[in-house]
Structure 1
Amino acid sequence: MSTQKTPPAYGGQAVVEGVMFGGRKNYVTAIRRNDGSIDFFKLPRVPNSKLSALKKIPFLRGIIAIIEASANGTKHLNFSSERYGLDPQDDAKLEQEDKKGSGLSMFFSLAVIGVLSFLFSKFVFTLVPVFLAELVRPVFSSDAAQIGIESVFKLILLLGYIYFLSMTPLIKRVFQYHGAEHKVINCYEQNLPITIKNVQKQSRLHYRCGSSFILFTIIVGMFVYLLVPTDPLWVRILDRIALIPVVLGISFEVLQLTNKVRNIPVLKVLGYPGLWLQLLTTKEPEDDQVEVAIESFNELLRLEDISEQSEKPSDNVI
């Protein structure tokens, strides 16, 4: 009987001039400093038995994963935005300021800010299309038509937001690092040596991407909203707010499903809408950006290996 373990599914996130990767026990961010060097920011995953139990519950696990990703991602984004343009000689001064602000309280504040930012953006992208749809109710009066036009407005709002963001030089480079992150994961999942040459040959798209998840919330929401009335307006607004966790939970499961069936010819098309959106949220990276992503991932693998070894007994007796 084979005892080979299924390799863990690593995830990541693009940051300013760098990439963050997360494993079972650690998070690592690598960024390119203005002097050309690569700097790292590392955080261990804090074990939480209650959260671990909740992550095993379908539909609920997605909400927990999103909140956790928002909280941790903000910390790494803060590190990258503070450091990438700072002269490395000034790091000591920045660390002194961090100590004055109390590192623990600062990280907690960043986590709260990350979660609140996600919730605020979700409220905006959920409710603005509702009001826009109401403006055209004289033309699209039925519930089904209202939900359809609401979803169209939501998609236009999302695509427009991403498109105009991508036109700024800073975000364009972030999207390039996003592409580098996906390429590294694709290279790893194909069991290829993680070199710049091998990584650059990979696709910049990935079925488990958060961009796909965002699109799925629009598609899933359209079907979920068919179960509740669209009139009067105040009921519609309350329904949309109350159903946010439901839509997020189902969308996460859809994302996981499309990833599981991505190698089945007939079913892999389920993930295509999310991949199409990634054509906007990722760009082809340059070699030096791929190098940063590789350094981040290799450092994560090193830390994960150390964590695994530290859990094993000192001898091989079984």
Structure 2
Amino acid sequence: MDKPTIGGQAVVEGVMFQTKNRMVTAIRRNNDEIEYFEMERPEKKWVKNLKKVPLLRGNVAILESSIYGMKHLDFATDRYERDPEDDVNIEQEKQAANSTKVVLSTIIVGILSFIIGKFLFTLIPVFIAEVFSGTVTSHFGQVLLESVFKLILLLGYIYVISMTPMVKRLFQYHGAEHKVINTFENDQDLTVENVQRQSRLHYRCGSSFILFTVLVGFVVYMFVPVEPFYVRILNRIALIPVVIGLSFEFLQLTNKLRDIPVLKWLGIPGLLLQYLTTKQPDDTQVEVAVHSFNKLLRRD
């Protein structure tokens, strides 16, 4: 029987794993106990049909991950550094604030944050490149300069936030997530020792996707004008869904080719970025990831 495709996401002091049917998060509380949050992953027929359409399915997948992922992040952050005996107050606070409104507002904030972040990440390099338009005048030079600034912005941002204690621990759980998936895909028992021997890098990681948006964007922008400047701004905004869709397809392609000599090198740039977005987890963090993964397998 074919193995299910399992994805994941690091959350505050824990890891979420998911199949196409279910999502499970395990977190470690400050009393050292492991707590779970589970939910089914309902999929409407029209969404399922959209996810079969090349280019479009990448945008749908990103949006869907943002919506469901925010619920698990919300669960983890609500309980971060709070005494488990205080959990009843968490529920009362949510009820007082109307839990439905809280969930909806959290999802909306998550989606808006992604959209605004994507706009800024796309447009700031355009404005910087335009500053040098008097020196770098060619179409190729401007697109290359824009892509270089975008890459610097990406790497610089990740490096700076990785220096903060909370994000560093989040990146350690990200590493634990990858190690567990690699252990499962390599048909090894999910013990802490086996997991720790695995790589913290994985071809299907969202970090690779982010880098691919830079590389794919460079190619796409070569076919659209950069002058006049307002046209450049408009086509960058209009092409965001196209770049996301193509990057998603390229990510899926590199995953399929990862065992083929020579072609597996297509995914290397994304793997290199993961040296920034993942950190080596300790045994206690790996233990949380293993608990989350095992719970998902039992439920699914």
TM-score by length of 2: 0.98
Q: Which amino acid aligns with 1:52?
A: K
Q: Does 1:26 align with 2:14?
A: no
Q: Which amino acid aligns with 2:37?
A: F
Q: C-alpha distance in 2, partners of 1:236/1:301?
A: 48
Match of 1:281 among 273, 277, 282: 277
Q: Which amino acid aligns with 2:194?
A: N
Q: C-alpha distance in 2, partners of 1:48/1:104?
A: 20
Q: Does 1:100 align with 2:96?
A: yes
Q: Is the 8 A contact 1:31 1:84 kept in 2?
A: no
Give the deviation of 1:213 after TM superposition.
0.2
Q: Does 1:113 align with 2:114?
A: no
Q: C-alpha distance in 1, partners of 2:111/2:7?
A: 18
Match of 1:141 among 137, 152, 156: 137
Give the deviation of 1:97 after TM superposition.
1.4
Q: Which residue of 1 aligns with 2:263?
A: 267
Q: Which residue of 1 aligns with 2:202?
A: 206
Q: Is the 8 A contact 1:74 1:111 kept in 2?
A: yes
Q: C-alpha distance in 2, partners of 1:91/1:47?
A: 30
Q: Does 1:176 align with 2:168?
A: no
Q: C-alpha distance in 2, partners of 1:103/1:296?
A: 25
Q: Which residue of 2 aligns with 1:309?
A: none
Q: Which amino acid aligns with 2:9?
A: Q
Match of 2:218 among 219, 222, 239: 222
Q: Which amino acid aligns with 2:212?
A: F
Give the deviation of 1:83 after TM superposition.
0.3
Q: Which residue of 2 aligns with 1:15?
A: 11
Q: Is the 8 A contact 1:71 1:113 kept in 2?
A: no
Q: C-alpha distance in 2, partners of 1:85/1:103?
A: 21
Give the deviation of 1:100 after TM superposition.
2.4
**Hey, which bits of structure 1, 4+ residues long, moved more than 4 A?**
none
Q: C-alpha distance in 2, partners of 1:256/1:275?
A: 14
Q: C-alpha distance in 2, partners of 1:110/1:54?
A: 25
Q: Per the alignment, in what secondary structure is the counterpart of residue 69 of structure 1?
A: helix
- Unpaired segments of 5 or more residues in structure 1? 305-318
Q: C-alpha distance in 2, partners of 1:96/1:137?
A: 57
Match of 2:252 among 223, 244, 256: 256
Q: Does 1:72 align with 2:68?
A: yes
Q: Which residue of 2 aligns with 1:241?
A: 237
Bigger drift between 243-252 and 19-28 goes to 19-28
Q: C-alpha distance in 1, partners of 2:95/2:40?
A: 19
Aligned pair count reads: 300
Identity of aligned residues (%): 59
Q: Per the alignment, in what secondary structure is the counterpart of residue 21 of structure 1?
A: strand
Bigger drift between 74-83 and 278-287 goes to 74-83
Give the deviation of 1:101 after TM superposition.
2.7
Give the deviation of 1:105 after TM superposition.
3.0
Q: CA RMSD in A?
A: 0.9
Matches within 5 A, 1:187-206: 187-206=183-202
Give the deviation of 1:191 after TM superposition.
1.1
Q: C-alpha distance in 2, partners of 1:67/1:206?
A: 21
Q: Which amino acid aligns with 1:75?
A: K
Q: Per the alignment, in what secondary structure is the counterpart of residue 253 of structure 1?
A: helix
TM-score by length of 1: 0.93
